[in-house]
Chain A
Amino acid sequence: MSAVLAVADHRRGELRDVSFELLTAGRELADDLDGELHVAVIGGDVESFADKLDRDGVDVVHTVDEGEEFNHDVYVQAVEALCGEIDATAILAPNSVNGLDYAPAVANGLSIPLVTDAVALEYEDGLEVTREMYGSKVETTVEVDADRFFVTIRSGEWPATEDRGDASLEPFEFDLDESAVGSRVTGFEEVGEGDVDISDADVLVSIGRGIEEEENLEIVEALADALDATLAASRPVVDNGWLPKNRQVGQSGKVVTPEVYIAVGISGAVQHVAGMKGAKTIVAINTDPNAPIFDIADYGIVDDLFEVVPELTEQFS
């Protein structure tokens, strides 16, 4: 019988939400393959994680009691050993920072193809993966011509599996080759603490790459002042050092849920959207009518921000 092996993500004692989305994707693929869904949780409090991962559709949860936190060498060895043990047809993992830190190594080591950042999966005679290219401007389907494969899935694309299950819980032991562990996590740091907490704001004016130059920030600052709003930004603005990290909204920044989010010159890359899609009302101002930000916006203006923003500021002054 075919087996799908889904590898959960956790950090600092918490399973990450995408792990429960992974269960849904894994169950669907296992159904297509007429097979079982096996889930692996590696490191940390594996007993408690396994209990939480015992959800509807999961056949077996394998606990690998090795270390407290993610270490890619341990993950690589554990996943490869477990994959051999259960003869997995498919390995699934989140397309997270840690997922991308071991999935390519496992796929390379097992000589199986890897497809990253999947937004949909279908298996009939073979695997077909839907993914985006060119900064989300196009979707593509990729056919995988192989009997076994590794796929990483994008968070937010599958619903989380919530209902309890009746999986068997099985500790998995393997001989860790300590000499092959060549990296050591020495700590974690929270970044972006500062005077302003954008996750507390009711109204955010957020600025993106469209602002072009640091000097141009003034016009957005003026709008934020006029609206009594807090200024936030997408990644490129922070990368350029124009605003501090504590203003960054997105996957690697803060998750915000304001009443009103005004996205100015932000295209709406998936990493940004992950941080702000929970806003109650989303307004987008962008010159590109096809920018993905308009897919989630409630109100939009397709025009040059340098024309629109001063006019809008004027309305509130």
Chain B
Amino acid sequence: MKVLVTVKEVAEAADDFEISGTEIEEGYLEYDLNEWDDYAIEEAVQLSEERDDVETVGVTIGPERSEETIRMALAKGLDRAVRVWDDAIARQDLLDVDAKARLLEAIVEQEEPDLILSGVQANDDSFGATGVALARQLGVQWAAVVNRMELTEDDTVANVRRELEGGVEELTEVDMPAVLTIQTGINEPRYASLRGIRQAQSKEIDVQGLEDLELGEDAVEGALDLTRMYEPVSESDAEIFEGDPGETAGELAEVLQEKGVGAQ
């Protein structure tokens, strides 16, 4: 079977940062593999380790810089990688959910995977919608926020647990092929080994643009425009203790003692 994993490079903002227009200034951003996708990669790699017949492919939508991230996914054990990008995609300041689903659909048509794993959300834009939108675009089944998955022996059904709010999990059977969006905590993502990193460096990444995917520029034109970005006004009325750790801990201890903490 073939497992396709969607992988996103996400930007993380430093504790202190500056905003320019509708973007955080580049110097304050660090790029990393999306946390949720890390768990999706691990789930795919574990599946390939358990069985002899599993091929795992990572797909990312991102500029050249994101090759570092997709190589990390290769170093962790994915077999191959595809990167989707071109100038027309780069011109979009906010690639909306449908645009991503259309791009990924084109890759799915090429790869014909049996199972698609995607992180529940990306930590930068937090839309949390690409996986389910992709499933609908493909006309296949899906499950969102999966924290355990087991495939039946004949690979026709995925038995999953969906993590609902408030410590409740839903047990669901999903017909395959399917898109599952993977929640953190489903497994323990591995660190890439040095050998894995070395091997990943030499692997070729298949870069495809809109033309390769037989899509027009209108495929990535969305209805959403990012018009403002600003730091939220702090609503804090917290009393902040100042001083060295001894002093601040002392002041906090007084407050806690007044409230009867540690009185026994």
Q: Which residue of B lies closest to A134 (CB)?
A: B13
B188 A241 Cβ-Cβ under 8 A? yes
Q: Which of A21-29, A38-46, A187-195 contacts B (4 or more CB under 8 A)?
A: A187-195
B172 A186 Cβ-Cβ under 8 A? yes
Q: Across the interface, which residues of A come within 8 angstroms of B172, CB to CB?
A: 183-186
Q: A252 touches which one: B123, B166, B175, B262 (CB < 8 A)?
A: B166
Within the complex, the shortest CB–CB distance from A49 to chain B, in Å, comes to: 18
Known: A138-B19, A139-B232, A301-B252. A97 touches B124 (CB 8 A): no
A145 B231 Cβ-Cβ under 8 A? no
Within the complex, the shortest CB–CB distance from A272 to chain B, in Å, comes to: 13
Q: Across the interface, which residues of A come within 8 angstroms of B163, CB to CB?
A: 97, 252
Q: Across the interface, which residues of A come within 8 angstroms of B188, CB to CB?
A: 240-241
B239 A105 Cβ-Cβ under 8 A? no
B153 located at the interface, meaning its Cβ lies under 8 Å from any Cβ of chain A in the complex: no
B111 located at the interface, meaning its Cβ lies under 8 Å from any Cβ of chain A in the complex: no
Known: A101-B144, A101-B145, A133-B125. A252 touches B133 (CB 8 A): no
Q: A105 touches which one: B19, B136, B227, B235 (CB < 8 A)?
A: B136
A294 B245 Cβ-Cβ under 8 A? no
B22 located at the interface, meaning its Cβ lies under 8 Å from any Cβ of chain A in the complex: yes
Known: A133-B124, A139-B230, A254-B167. A299 touches B225 (CB 8 A): no
B255 located at the interface, meaning its Cβ lies under 8 Å from any Cβ of chain A in the complex: yes
Q: Which residue of B lies closest to A145 (CB)?
A: B223
Interface size on A, residues (CB 8 A): 99
B49 located at the interface, meaning its Cβ lies under 8 Å from any Cβ of chain A in the complex: no
Q: Which of B80-88, B93-101, B192-200, B205-213 contacts A (4 or more CB under 8 A)?
A: B93-101
A114 B129 Cβ-Cβ under 8 A? yes
B44 located at the interface, meaning its Cβ lies under 8 Å from any Cβ of chain A in the complex: no
Interchain CA distance A70-B164 in the complex, whole Å? 11
Q: Across the interface, which residues of A come within 8 angstroms of B144, CB to CB?
A: 72, 97, 100-101
Q: Which of A52-60, A82-90, A156-164, A304-312 contacts B (4 or more CB under 8 A)?
A: A304-312
B24 A104 Cβ-Cβ under 8 A? no
B50 located at the interface, meaning its Cβ lies under 8 Å from any Cβ of chain A in the complex: no
- From 154 to 198 in chain B, residues with beta carbon under 8 angstroms from any chain A beta carbon are 161-175, 178, 184-185, 188
Q: B230 touches which one: A11, A111, A138, A185 (CB < 8 A)?
A: A138
Mask: chain B, 227-261; 1 = CB below 8 Å from A; 0 = not: 11111101110111100011011101101100111
- From 243 to 261 in chain A, residues with beta carbon under 8 angstroms from any chain B beta carbon are 245, 248, 251-255, 259-260
- From 1 to 59 in chain B, residues with beta carbon under 8 angstroms from any chain A beta carbon are 11-13, 15-17, 19, 22, 24
B110 located at the interface, meaning its Cβ lies under 8 Å from any Cβ of chain A in the complex: no
A281 located at the interface, meaning its Cβ lies under 8 Å from any Cβ of chain B in the complex: yes
Q: Across the interface, which residues of A come within 8 angstroms of B238, CB to CB?
A: 284, 294-295, 297-300
A145 B225 Cβ-Cβ under 8 A? yes
B133 A260 Cβ-Cβ under 8 A? no
A101 B249 Cβ-Cβ under 8 A? no
Within the complex, the shortest CB–CB distance from A305 to chain B, in Å, comes to: 10
Interchain CA distance A114-B128 in the complex, whole Å? 11
Known: A104-B129, A138-B24, A311-B249. A11 touches B164 (CB 8 A): yes
Q: Across the interface, which residues of B come within 8 angstroms of A108, CB to CB?
A: 97-98, 101, 132-133, 136-137
Interchain CA distance A9-B156 in the complex, whole Å? 30
Q: Across the interface, which residues of A come within 8 angstroms of B250, CB to CB?
A: 311, 315
Interchain CA distance A241-B152 in the complex, whole Å? 27
A252 B171 Cβ-Cβ under 8 A? no
B227 A142 Cβ-Cβ under 8 A? yes
Interchain CA distance A72-B172 in the complex, whole Å? 11
Q: A303 touches which one: B124, B130, B245 (CB < 8 A)?
A: B245
Within the complex, the shortest CB–CB distance from A268 to chain B, in Å, comes to: 11
Q: What is the interface of chain A, defined by CB distance below 8 A to chain B?
A: 11-12, 16, 70, 72, 76, 95-98, 100-105, 107-109, 111, 113-117, 128, 131-146, 149, 182-192, 203, 226-229, 235-236, 238-241, 245, 248, 251-255, 259-260, 281, 283-284, 287-290, 294-304, 307-308, 311-312, 314-316
Nearest 7 A/B pairs, CB to CB? A311-B249, A315-B253, A239-B185, A104-B129, A104-B132, A307-B245, A101-B144
Q: What is the interface of chain B, defined by CB distance below 8 A to chain A?
A: 11-13, 15-17, 19, 22, 24, 94, 96-98, 101, 120, 123-133, 135-137, 141-145, 161-175, 178, 184-185, 188, 222-232, 234-236, 238-241, 245-246, 248-250, 252-253, 255-256, 259-264
9 A-B pairs with C-beta separation under 8 A: A135-B13, A142-B94, A144-B224, A187-B170, A189-B168, A259-B259, A283-B252, A299-B239, A299-B240
